[in-house]
Amino acid sequence: GNYVGKPQNGWYCRIDRDTGELVDPKCREKDTLTKDFWDPIFKETDFADHIKSRYTIGLKSMLGDDEDEINDVQSEENSV
């Protein structure tokens, strides 16, 4: 991630993704729970995509490789 940093114990701030520098102002944890803190992170970075790719469970057929065999059988039945 590296979207939010902790420059000192008890303080948080945004991180510039291009330079890696900490972006002022520093704020306390309670202040990170506000819309004002997170809006720039969502608007100016790929944070939403990062969260989505990190925590989304991929879709995979529950049948797996058996699906091809089922389709083959169904094709054979339809051609009879």
The H or E element containing residue 15 is: strand 11-15
- Tell whether the model's pLDDT for residue 74 goes beyond 90: no
Q: Could you tell me the two tokens for 59?
A: 């879709």
CB 13 within 8 A of CB 4: yes
Distance, CA of 77 to CA of 57 (rounded, Å): 35
Determine the pLDDT at residue 42: 94
- Tell whether the model's pLDDT for residue 79 goes beyond 70: no
- Tell whether the model's pLDDT for residue 63 goes beyond 80: no
What pTM was computed for the model? 0.63
What residue type is assigned to position 45 of the chain? T
Determine the pLDDT at residue 53: 86
Q: Encode pLDDT of 5-46 as tens digits.
A: 999 999 999 999 899 999 999 999 999 999 999 999 999 999
List the Cα angle 49/38/6 in 5-degree steps: 100
